[in-house]
Amino acid sequence: MLLATKSLFENTKNLAQKDIDVVLTSTSDNSKYLASIVSELAGISPKISHSVESLCNSGANSVVSAFAYIAAGLADIALVVGAERFDSPGRILEWDRSRGEYKHPIYWSSMFTKAHMRKYGTTKEDLAIVSAKNHKNATANPYAYFEKEYSVDEVMQSKNLTEEIRLLDCSLPCSGSAAILLASEETAKKYTSCPVWITGIGEKTISAGFTKNTDLTTMQSTTHAATDAYKMSKMQASNVDVAEIHDAFTICEIIELEDLGFAKKGEASRYARICYETQDRKINPRGGLIGSGHPLGATGIAQIAEICQQLQGKAEKRQIEGAKVGLVQNMSAAATSSTVLILQS
């Protein structure tokens, strides 16, 4: 957390601790008063500070909260820091214990996978391609947890966890942190010559338990959030140059590509295959959660940081040339809630 914060200060000329009005921390850890602790350790005495928790999309939620503080005129500059340990209590769906076997996320992802296979003929190879693609992308990301490529075959031969899911179909809960700064329009221009603007925001919570999602070939919360974000930004999927989407499991990326409008229903596997074969990094250029690791509370912030770097032309080996419009989709708990953001340079 402090490392991520420190690197932000190093990368933002003339930014002083006293300029920070808001410090939000994003985690599913059991820590208390974390935003005040981070503030004290970083030498900041903000006006507003608190933690934000919503499992795996705590990160995007905290960024939207910071946006709101600034847009409401209560703050000018906000620091949003997410962090998680590999053994976070948020990695198991404690709230869903009443649903018996389904407390581990691989069970809901298996059910999504089976439903998508039945309806659209999605294959295990289709899933493996997503993993191979994202692992390959991650090799160009110095902050990724995984450093090595896996072939489609290697993914398919990895350990069976359920009938549908192999080990390499899964993202790995890990320790990690990410931090970003938000500022009002006028202030942002003081600190950077290449600001990135949040032009679209969509958020939706359907429920807590995933059994409310009656069609397991779609993620209702993502569809709602995407509709709102596209509407607010006056953009659509065809305008998006680069996207970080929440591939907690390979099936997630496939369903999300469809629900976000990048591919028609049933055609995302083909879309992902073309990306893989043509080495197009447009989707999950940093390697997504599968390649980068999934430190729950930090994930949404890391996704946003990647898209900002892409839109600023600072993504180095991962750079999508001329990227002007980016999308982030961050979701929680079997996609019972989602956040979609449109970012533009």
Which residues contact a copy of itself by CB under 8 A? 23, 28, 30-37, 39-40, 45-55, 58, 61-62, 64-65, 67-74, 89-90, 93-95, 201-209, 212, 224, 228, 332-333, 336-337
Q: Tell me how far apart the alpha carbons of residues 8 and 191 are, in angstroms, rounded to a whole number.
A: 12
Beta bridge partners of 342: 200, 327
Q: Of residues 174, 246, 294, 308, which has the active-site annotation? A: 294
> At 182, is the secondary structure helix, strand, or coil?
strand
Q: Of residues 56, 170, 174, 252, which has the active-site annotation? A: 56
Nearest of 155, 156, 136 to residue 146 by alpha carbon: 136
Closer to a copy of itself by CB, 284 or 344: give it.
Answer: 344
CB of 18 to a copy of itself, least distance (A): 13
CB of 1 to a copy of itself, least distance (A): 13
Tell me if residue 116 is catalytic.
no
Supply the DSSP string of 276-341, one letter for each residue: HHTT---BSTT-HHHHH-B-HHHHHHHHHHHHHHHHTT--GGGPPTT--EEEEEEEETTTTEEEEE
Cα end-to-end span (Å), the chain: 26
Closer to a copy of itself by CB, 25 or 309: give it.
Answer: 25
> CA 43, 48, 54, 55: dihedral to nearest 10 degrees?
0
Tell me if residue 56 is catalytic.
yes
Closer to a copy of itself by CB, 138 or 328: give it.
Answer: 328
Closer to a copy of itself by CB, 73 or 322: give it.
Answer: 73
Cα 61–Cα 63–Cα 69 angle in degrees, nearest 5: 105
CB of 55 to a copy of itself, least distance (A): 5
CB of 187 to a copy of itself, least distance (A): 16
Residue 289 CA, distance from chain mean position: 7
* Catalytic annotation, residues: 56, 294
